[in-house]
Structure 1
Amino acid sequence: MVAADGAYSALATNCGMKWFRYNYQQIAVVSKITTEIPHFGRAFEKFTEHGPLAVLPMSNNFSFLIWCISNKQHKEVSIWNKKKFSQELQNTFGWKLGKILNIETRYFYDLWLTRAQSHISHRLALVGNAAQNLHPIAGQGFNLGLRDIVVLSKIITQALYRNIDIGDYSVLNTYQKHRYLDQYKTIKITDGLVRLFSNHYLPLIIARNVGLFFIKYSTFLQHLLVTTILNWKTD
């Protein structure tokens, strides 16, 4: 059985799985928005003093908004009407996509890092958010989940080819061992970015701004960053 039912997986919970959890003390405000200028498939992310703001392309010229705010801001932001929210979002995001024309229903989610203490149990494997749920700062939770599925599929195929029971512990343990390093590295990178950009220590602020400047204008550094984060090597 594969638990792929998202964060706080009911299936995994019923099978006795336990999670490590860390509260980032942040809230993600998510919504679907439309803008004056088409996104042309472009994604944007801006780092604010309270957390990252991402605008991701969707079909039909919609964009998906993920705006991370502090817990302290939650009460204030939640009572903003659509006009006030649109104005504040425009001021924070800027005019890269022109005027923000419409904001649909807003949803608020607490942001936690969660990771299953084990990703396998008796004839059970966890994938995606059922195995680990990341902060959206680098947008890597989905990619990590896809790599879980790719690796599990390969291992199941190999077991079938060798006429081995795919639910056998040896097969499931192979999956867990193959995924550990990638999961560990991606979680560390994502968690490190959250802590880096939520730290208000002045020398650190200067250092990260200099780093972002060099990444912005260096094709080599951009390629290195993307290769490191995406990590599509699943062998």
Structure 2
Amino acid sequence: MKSYDIAIVGAGMAGATLALALNRLCQTPLNIAVIEAYQNHDDKRHPGFDSRAIALSFGTANILKKLNLWQQFLPFVTSITDIEISDRSHLGLADITAQHEQVSALGYVVELDNVGRIYQQALKASPNVDYFCPAKVNHIERTLEQVHIDLSDGTQIESRLLVAADGALSESCQQLNIPLKEIDFEQVAVIANVSTQILPQGRAFERFTQFGPVAFLPMSEGRSSVVWCMPQQRADSMMAADQQTVIEALQHDFGWRLGRITKVGKMACYPLLLRYRENTVSHRFVAVGNAAQTLHPIAGQGFNLGIRDVLSLAEEIALTQQTLGDVGDYSMLSRYRQRRQQDRQYTMSLTSSLVHCFSNELPAMRVGRNVGLLAIQYLPYLKQPIVKRTMGLVER
């Protein structure tokens, strides 16, 4: 039986960031086990580090700088200098610029498979982290002082604290009967990288259409990462269509802000749901990242919320190590839950409200949201709180 201070199930961005944050923040190194079911191969990407791109907020970049990780990200990130929010065929339009906010970038776009390599190297270079991969958790049993974990490779470990960072359908949470709530938005996201006649040059777009939102994020090599939300039936049609049909449909929804769409890369399709656990902590256990909540991508908030959770948890653990010594003590978990409650609930509510508001074609709703977009553009006292949330500059 191997003994650890903390066992983290999942080595995606949430789990890996937590392990590295603990290394950075704790005065005395903790013994950490990271358990990961997927082994990276060229033909099979880790599901947390697939071919998608994600937006890192300005606040998330600051967190990664604090953890001495940002330097490794720099070769792979593309800056977002301008975000335009609009409603197709209507007047409503809001624009957020880095120049106006007096920052070099509002956020950054990074491809997840590049991030995967950064984290794998960093974890393997950490002497106090034991990396069990590929390995699944077969059985979890909690006692007063420890969590006992049986792994699929026959290893048995015990830990003061178990952290579930193993995705939206977390098997760790399932084994401990942590309830999962689910709201189906009755949409799917078609994901692809596209090339356009006009290079994006740092410009991101969030466009609302009769089918759902479509987002363009600037990427390397002059491409854009597209998240195209629509009903399942239309997505099935798009996934089966030839490239020219897809280009024409996307051009119709997005418009001509980047000129003609010249190429659409390999497409993937994901159902859009809000999945969340009301109770993210219990005895010697905490869920973070997508295991705690998985949001609609409409405002790019999900990953950034998860990173704020991770850093806050690491700070609480580091503080508890200095005072109580027992990093799995329930008083620490209780403090963490209270600390994160407001940001978590507000972000989940905001995201869901935006989906319902901007996917509704009732005339009154259309008028209301366009007036809202114009108000955001021209009334600073309305705009600033939204800009700060977009940039991830919120209380943790």
Please point out which of 220, 244, 257 is paired with 1:83.
244
Cα offset, 1:198, TM superposition: 1.9
Please point out which of 166, 178, 182 is paired with 2:343.
182
Which deviates the most, 221-230 or 196-205? 221-230
| Identity of matched residues, % | 38
Query: Does residue 1:6 correspond to 2:6, yes or no?
Result: no
Q: Is the 8 A contact 1:116 1:131 kept in 2?
A: yes
Q: Distance in 2 between matches of 1:111 and 1:167?
A: 34
Q: Distance in 2 between matches of 1:161 and 1:58?
A: 42
Which deviates the most, 113-122 or 43-52? 113-122
Query: Does residue 1:124 correspond to 2:285, yes or no?
Result: yes
Please point out which of 195, 202, 224 is paired with 2:385.
224
Cα offset, 1:108, TM superposition: 1.0
Query: Does residue 1:213 correspond to 2:361, yes or no?
Result: no
Please point out which of 358, 361, 370 is paired with 1:197.
358
Which deviates the most, 183-192 or 15-24? 15-24
Q: Is the 8 A contact 1:147 1:232 kept in 2?
A: no
Please point out which of 315, 318, 323 is paired with 1:162.
323
Partner of 2:395: 233
Q: Distance in 1 between matches of 2:204 and 2:324?
A: 45
Partner of 1:62: 223
Q: Distance in 1 between matches of 2:379 and 2:259?
A: 27
Cα offset, 1:221, TM superposition: 3.2
Q: Structure 1 counterpart of 2:394, which letter?
A: W
- The secondary structure found in structure 2 opposite 1:200 is coil
Please point out which of 219, 232, 242 is paired with 1:71.
232
Cα offsets for 1:201-230 (capped at 9, x unmatched): 212211111111222344443322122453
Q: Is the 8 A contact 2:190 2:235 kept in 1?
A: no
Q: Structure 1 residues 220 and 155 mapped into 2: Cα distance closer, same or farther (>3 Å)?
A: same
Which deviates the most, 93-102 or 136-145? 93-102
Q: Structure 2 counterpart of 1:150, which letter?
A: L
Cα offset, 1:60, TM superposition: 2.8
Cα offset, 1:29, TM superposition: 0.5
Query: Does residue 1:141 correspond to 2:305, yes or no?
Result: no
Q: Distance in 2 between matches of 1:202 and 1:180?
A: 35
- Larger helix share, 1 or 2: 1
Q: Distance in 1 between matches of 2:389 and 2:205?
A: 19
Q: Distance in 2 between matches of 1:176 and 1:126?
A: 11
Cα offset, 1:164, TM superposition: 2.8
Query: Does residue 1:172 correspond to 2:325, yes or no?
Result: no
Query: Which sections of structure 1, spanning at least 5 residues, go unmatched?
Result: none
Query: Does residue 1:43 correspond to 2:208, yes or no?
Result: no
Q: Distance in 1 between matches of 2:369 and 2:166?
A: 36
Query: Which sections of structure 2, spanning at least 5 residues, go unmatched?
Result: 1-161
Cα offsets for 1:109-150 (capped at 9, x unmatched): 111111113111332211111100111111110111111012
Partner of 1:94: 255
Q: Distance in 2 between matches of 1:216 and 1:115?
A: 32
Aligned-residue Cα RMSD (Å) equals: 1.7
Per the normalisation by structure 2, the TM-score is: 0.56
Partner of 2:35: none
Q: Distance in 1 between matches of 2:295 and 2:274?
A: 5
